[in-house]
Structure 1
Amino acid sequence: MGFIKKLLVTGTVAAALGAVAFSWWAKQPLTSGGAPLPFTVLAGSSVGAASQQIAEAGVPLNPWLFSVLARITQKAGRIKAGSYELKPGSSPRRLLDQLVRGEFAQESLTIIEGWTFRQMRAAVAANEGLRHETVNLSDAELMSKLSSDFKVPEGLFFPDTYLFAKGSPDMQIYKQAHAMLLSQLDTAWKKRDPSLPYITPYQALTMASIVEKETGQKSERAMIAGVFVNRLKTGMLLQTDPTVIYGMGAKYTGRIRKRDLETDTPYNTYTRGGLPPTPIALPGRESLEAALQPAQTAALYFVSRGDGTSKFSTNLNEHNNAVNRFQR
């Protein structure tokens, strides 16, 4: 066999072995265990720069081989910038697919039913996974970026757990929660009891927020909504403490006194008839449903039994007896 022929054969064998080795490498786990490794691919990065950024973040990856893998699979120009996590057991090929699909590191934020909007803003501001762009905006400025229909944010964000890619702008959470609230409210409004005294969905939202704050037992939400609806229909004052507390703002220190019930504010339902001007909290789905499909009841009063449940009464004498029994 001539020298040139031997050289060609040797080169062919070496190339084949190299291809086999490369294919083997592309399928091997980069890590075998431990915690996920976070890394970020910067916007505008070439595949070579992205590979280097991943390696520099602590991922045990050969940047040159990874760049070759991306090029020969024709995925080099499809890598998406963002924050990621390499999960244990991921191979170079799986990592490349992750980058092409934009499977970003997922963060979460939970908004609790019954929170005020102020509490929601504090939770958003404290979440380290978000990119904070709204911290210097007033409530009115934030709402102007979200909606032309509402000026006051209270009640207009749906309590839920929201997933987002690490580094997402915080406005994304507000947009998602606001859109979800409008969707949930619209669904509940379409199923409403036609005899209800609400003129607009916003009034129903306000009632739902009151039900949310008044209810210790989820099973009682429809009954409590029924009591408040009966009061609205008969012209009685709602006389609900959570609205008074909301109107007190920072003056509330955990205890409500008789003078607080007598001090007039737009939210004092002991001194003003009808619903307060805005919601007082972020109501969940069950409170929305209760406000729009309340229990059919003759009750006009309720008082806490002290165990999380309520005693409902149809007249003042019965209610006063219940108050004496459970509260005094």
Structure 2
Amino acid sequence: MGLVVLACAAAAAGWWWLDQPLRLAPAAPGQPVEVTIAPGTSARSAAAAIAKAGVQAPDWALFGWFRLSGQSRQIKAGSYEFAEGTTPRTLLGKLVRGEQALRMVTLVEGWTFRQVRQALARAERLQPDSRALDDAALMAALGRPGVAPEGRFFPDTYAYPKGASDLAVLRQALQAMDRQLDAAWSQRADDQVLKTPEQALILASIVEKETGRAEDREQISAVFHNRLRIGMPLQTDPTVIYGLGERFDGNLRRRDLRADTPFNTYTRTGLPPTPIAMPGASSLLAAVRPSNSKALYFVARGDGSSHFSHTLDEHNRAVDRYQR
């Protein structure tokens, strides 16, 4: 009878332990314990790695719990963090669900690809596999050889496990833009001057850079549609600035507007050869669904909004009023 009581007491103590917070000894005070479980790691080795990383529990006890739970073969590889309050039960649950320690990087609407690369280089615990690749090699690595990277990545916040490749983040953003562009193109207006999704992406990038207030997007798009329809140059400063690249010092001069480049929409008609930035979902939709406006001109009012004009005389008066 005494042995039965002792056995029951031991079992009860074991179950009690499963829900008790574990003591932690992280690498830095106040930080979580960080553990990386490599692919193919056994449950026994995972328990040893967790104990070695700073979870204050015998590895044999952790392994015993993994086996007893019946989930030892369901432990997933990855990078994990265990914070104060972690119990043996919640620890195993995290491993089985694959709840890896994630970091975030945000790609902002209107950024150029150069700014995207800079953001990825600064991102916490992101493996810089693209650093040694030029743009062409990078796109080939992503399975898009010969495609210009500008504008091909959707601006959003992306989560990634610690130690992930920056190419994995770019692949997420590339696929997201594919989906967003397809969705916008499927909603294009019937009277459409744009012939391909690629043209829509290019125009959307211009709308993104020209829009100061969200409510003006469709009207700005209409101006460019109207100009394309009659063969009038788009005459949009952001494309000229993009064509200048690192030569642009923040001051756009008359000589810049006259200097012919593939992106100078004052000297060349039609769309530039590639997007000039990353458009967001609203700009993508505005590019394919412009307003019914017949305006051919617009000028910034100075408060973020734009004034739209149908004639050059009206436009010149607006320029005098708001800029000169």
Aligning the two structures, in what range does the TM-score lie when normalised by the shorter sequence?
A: over 0.9
Residue aligning to 2:234: 238
How far apart, in 2, do the equivalents of 1:282 and 1:224 lie?
17
SS of equivalent residue, structure 2 residue 55: coil
Task: Choose the corresponding residue for 1:69, options 35, 60, 65.
Answer: 65
Residue aligning to 1:325: 321
Residue aligning to 1:90: 86
Task: Choose the corresponding residue for 1:185, options 178, 181, 188.
Answer: 181
How far apart, in 2, do the equivalents of 1:271 and 1:105 lie?
51
Deviation at 1:275, TM superposition (A): 0.4
Which has the higher mean CA deviation after the structures are superposed, 119-128 or 233-242? 119-128
How far apart, in 2, do the equivalents of 1:296 and 1:228 lie?
12
Q: Which runs of 5+ in 1 are unaligned?
A: 1-8
Which has the higher mean CA deviation after the structures are superposed, 98-107 or 291-300? 98-107
Deviation at 1:31, TM superposition (A): 5.7
Residue aligning to 1:221: 217
Residue aligning to 1:30: 22
Deviation at 1:47, TM superposition (A): 2.5
SS of equivalent residue, structure 2 residue 16: helix
Deviation at 1:246, TM superposition (A): 0.3
State which structure, 1 or 2, has the greater radius of gyration over its C-alpha atoms.
1
Task: Choose the corresponding residue for 1:19, options 7, 11, 15.
Answer: 11
Matched, 1:276 2:272: yes
Residue aligning to 1:50: 46
Q: Which letter maps to 2:269?
A: G
Deviation at 1:200, TM superposition (A): 0.9
Deviation at 1:45, TM superposition (A): 3.0
Residue aligning to 1:251: 247
How far apart, in 2, do the equivalents of 1:58 and 1:248 lie?
53
Which has the higher mean CA deviation after the structures are superposed, 118-127 or 263-272? 118-127
Task: Choose the corresponding residue for 1:40, options 36, 42, 49.
Answer: 36
Residue aligning to 2:148: 152
Q: Which letter maps to 1:166?
A: K
Deviation at 1:93, TM superposition (A): 1.1
Which has the higher mean CA deviation after the structures are superposed, 266-275 or 13-22? 13-22
Matched, 1:311 2:303: no
CA RMSD of aligned residues (A): 1.7
Matched, 1:103 2:103: no
TM-score (norm 2): 0.94
How far apart, in 1, do the equivalents of 2:23 and 2:319 lie?
65
Deviation at 1:150, TM superposition (A): 4.9
- What are the superposed Cα offsets for residues 14-59 of structure 1, whole Å, 9 maximum, x if unpaired? 2221111010001112269x65433222344332332232223222
SS of equivalent residue, structure 1 residue 38: strand
- What are the superposed Cα offsets for residues 307-326 of structure 1, whole Å, 9 maximum, x if unpaired? 11111111001111111111
SS of equivalent residue, structure 1 residue 275: coil
TM-score (norm 1): 0.93
- What are the superposed Cα offsets for residues 110-134 of structure 1, whole Å, 9 maximum, x if unpaired? 1100000111111112212322222
Q: Which runs of 5+ in 2 are unaligned?
A: 25-29
Matched, 1:138 2:130: no
How far apart, in 2, do the equivalents of 1:233 and 1:264 lie?
22
Q: Taking structure 1 as reference, are residues 290 and 150 closer, same or farther at Cα in structure 2, changes over 3 Å only?
A: farther
Deviation at 1:149, TM superposition (A): 6.7
Matched, 1:267 2:263: yes
- What are the superposed Cα offsets for residues 173-215 of structure 1, whole Å, 9 maximum, x if unpaired? 1111111101111111111012121111100100000000011
Residue aligning to 2:27: none
Q: Taking structure 1 as reference, are residues 150 and 189 closer, same or farther at Cα in structure 2, changes over 3 Å only?
A: farther
Q: Which letter maps to 1:117?
A: F
Q: Which letter maps to 2:272?
A: P
SS of equivalent residue, structure 1 residue 230: helix
Q: Taking structure 1 as reference, are residues 310 and 203 closer, same or farther at Cα in structure 2, changes over 3 Å only?
A: same
Q: Which letter maps to 2:288?
A: L
Deviation at 1:98, TM superposition (A): 1.0
Task: Choose the corresponding residue for 2:206, options 210, 214, 228.
Answer: 210
Matched, 1:198 2:194: yes
Q: Which letter maps to 1:151?
A: V
Q: Which letter maps to 2:33?
A: L
